[in-house]
Homo-oligomer: A and B are copies of this chain.
Amino acid sequence: MDSPTYLALTQDAISPDDLIARITTPGTGAVVLFTGIVRGITTHGETRQTSHLDYEAYSPMAEEKMKQICVEIRERWSAVEGIAIAQRIGQLDAGTITTVIACSAGHRDSGVFEAARYGIDRLKEIVPIWKKETGPDGASWVEGHYHPAAGE
């Protein structure tokens, strides 16, 4: 079984088309892709507007943690073939793709949905990336909540 892995921490636009092609193997019949997008309007709780987000990363550790997420996914869903994880950094305007997690497998009942969901959950827990939100009232850092265990 081919097991392509593609990781990117990039200032450039992320293309789901490109990432899907990178993880499509001769055995691939299904790809599930999650993408995060900069929300212009947030209505959870109080409604607020966002003009852009500024992402920064502790790049070498972020790349290590992205690799680790791939290992964790493969341990949990052995039928997953390819995995792509991309995170864009820099200033990203509302409507822009910020991150993509995509998993390929032979069939859709192989855990690809769960694997992609797990991937984005873990990215938001352990990959050292932060974002500052700018809206009509100025800029502020978005607070994370998760505290990884040592070595997690």
Residues of chain A touching chain B, judged by Cβ–Cβ distance below 8 Å, are: 1, 15-17, 20, 24, 26-44, 94-95, 97, 104, 106-108, 113, 116-117, 120
Contacts and interface: CB of A to CB of B under 8 A. Distances in A.
B37 A29 contact: yes
Judged by DSSP, the binding face of A is mixed
How many copies of the polypeptide does the oligomer hold? 2
Contact of A43 (B16, B32, B106): B106
Given A32-B33, A34-B32, A97-B20, A106 B39 contact: yes
Given A35-B33, A108-B120, A113-B117, A41 B20 contact: no
Contacts of A42: 27, 29, 106
Nearest to A107: B44
Contact of A29 (B20, B30, B36): B36
Contacts of A35: 20, 30-31, 33
Given A16-B20, A43-B106, A97-B20, A37 B28 contact: yes
B27 A34 contact: no
Contact of A39 (B28, B36, B95, B117): B28
Contacts of A41: 26-27
6 contacts: A17-B17, A26-B40, A27-B39, A29-B37, A31-B37, A33-B35
Contacts of A39: 26-29, 106
